[in-house]
Amino acid sequence: MLSTNLKYLRKKENLTQVQLAEKLQIKRSLIGAYEEGRAEPKLVTLMKMAQVFNLSVDELINPELPNLSKSTSSAHNSNVRVLSITVDGQDRENIELVPYKASAGYLNGYADPEFMEELPKFRLPMIQGPGTYRAFEIKGDSMLPIPSGTVIVGRYVERWQDIKDGTPCIVVSMQEGIVFKRIYQKAQDNALRLHSDNPVYQPYEVPLADVVELWEAKAYISTSFPMAEISLDRLTSLVLDLQQEVQKLKTVN
């Protein structure tokens, strides 16, 4: 469906074949070949096309793209998007790591291929499913017992409506930056309601128009192991044992 979608998107953006070829830095004849189905673009060119039209690669080749575009054109930013990815030598998508110190730069560079190339990259053998994955280092205690400094691995969400209430997600917004929260839909208010697992922090809302990326949490990596929970009865027992030991020491002395 790329040929149909490419022609549809080019006309929708009022671009000539020459203008689109210039944006993609390829020959005009190739645009004609792609639109007529006589040739298929390389992955690098396909990624550039997705960036030009502000879509993911999956959206670019979606056979329902024209219908989806019409139905969501007035949906108040109902779809968030990822604009840039990197691949390894075998054309497999990397998992890019966004360290906490790079969070501010990510907001300015998430659409910049050069910025993405500079980020650390890795692969996890247990994550083999379809989709685009990215990792973010979180700070703070709002999502305890997951400690500060944990790396959250998230899968890119194309439609926020597909996320169930209470799902932990990395939310990237211009207002709040990069945060790790459980999200709840507020469709009637065109907003997402963000909840922390730590009850000390109050929930708050982020307008959908402010959300630029949404990543569903799928795994986490941490060098800190969670502390075992101690019940009140167990804590009381430990205190009594300690008091008895102190009393024995006093008796001996």
Q: Is residue 111 part of a domain?
A: yes
Q: Does residue 55 share a domain with residue 93? A: no
Angle at 128 between CA 125 and CA 132, to 5 degrees: 115
Q: Is residue 35 part of a domain?
A: yes
- Which positions ≥6 away from 9 have C-beta within 8 Å? 53, 55, 60, 65
Q: Is residue 207 part of a domain?
A: yes
Cα 197 from Cα 32, distance rounded (Å): 53
Q: Is residue 252 part of a domain?
A: no
Q: Scanning the structure block, which residue is given the tokens 């630029």?
A: 212
Q: Is residue 137 part of a domain?
A: yes
Q: Does residue 214 share a domain with residue 92? A: yes
Please report, for the domain that includes residue 152, its CATH number: 2.10.109.10
Q: Is residue 69 part of a domain?
A: no
Q: Does residue 19 share a domain with residue 97? A: no
Q: Does residue 190 share a domain with residue 100? A: yes
Domain that holds residue 108: 87-221
Q: Is residue 235 part of a domain?
A: no
How far does Cα 206 stand from its chain's mean position? 16
Q: Does residue 207 share a domain with residue 117? A: yes
Tokens matching residue 132: 């685009």
Q: Does residue 95 share a domain with residue 48? A: no
Angle at 196 between CA 102 and CA 161, to 5 degrees: 85
Residue 250: C-alpha distances to residues 138, 169, 239, 244 (Å): 49, 55, 17, 10
Please report, for the domain that includes residue 19, its CATH number: 1.10.260.40
Q: Does residue 29 share a domain with residue 138? A: no
Q: What is the pLDDT tens value at each position of the chain, 253 positions in all? A: 788 889 888 888 888 889 999 989 999 889 988 988 888 888 888 888 888 888 888 888 887 676 655 444 434 444 455 457 788 877 788 899 999 999 988 888 776 778 888 999 998 888 867 788 999 999 999 998 899 999 999 999 988 888 899 999 999 998 899 999 999 988 677 899 999 999 999 999 999 888 889 999 999 999 887 666 667 677 677 778 888 888 887 776 6
Q: Does residue 104 share a domain with residue 55? A: no
Residue 93: name the closest of 28, 142, 29, 43 by CA: 43
How many Å is the maximal CA-CA distance in the chain? 97
> What DSSP string describes the chain?
-HHHHHHHHHHHTT--HHHHHHHHTS-HHHHHHHHTTS----HHHHHHHHHHTT--HHHHT-TTHHHHHHHHTTSSS-B-------B-TTSPBPEEEE-GGGHHHHHHHTT-HHHHHHS-EE--TT--SSS-EEEEE--SSTTTTS-TTPEEEEEE-SBGGGSPTTEEEEEEETTTEEEEEEEEEEGGGTEEEEE-SSTTSPPEEEEGGGEEEEEEEEEEE-SSPPPPP--HHHHHHHHHHHHHHHHHHHHH-
Q: Does residue 113 share a domain with residue 169? A: yes
Q: What pairing do the DSSP bridges indicate for beta strands 177-186 and 121-122?
A: unpaired
Cβ atoms of 108 and 83 within 8 Å: the answer is: no
Q: Does residue 112 share a domain with residue 216? A: yes
Number of structural domains (the chain) is 2
Angle between helices 28-35 and 17-24 in degrees, nearest 10: 110
Q: Does residue 35 share a domain with residue 142? A: no
The model carries a pTM of 0.62
Amino acid 99: pLDDT: 95
Q: Which residues pair with 169 in a beta bridge?
A: 181, 216
Q: Does residue 93 share a domain with residue 29? A: no
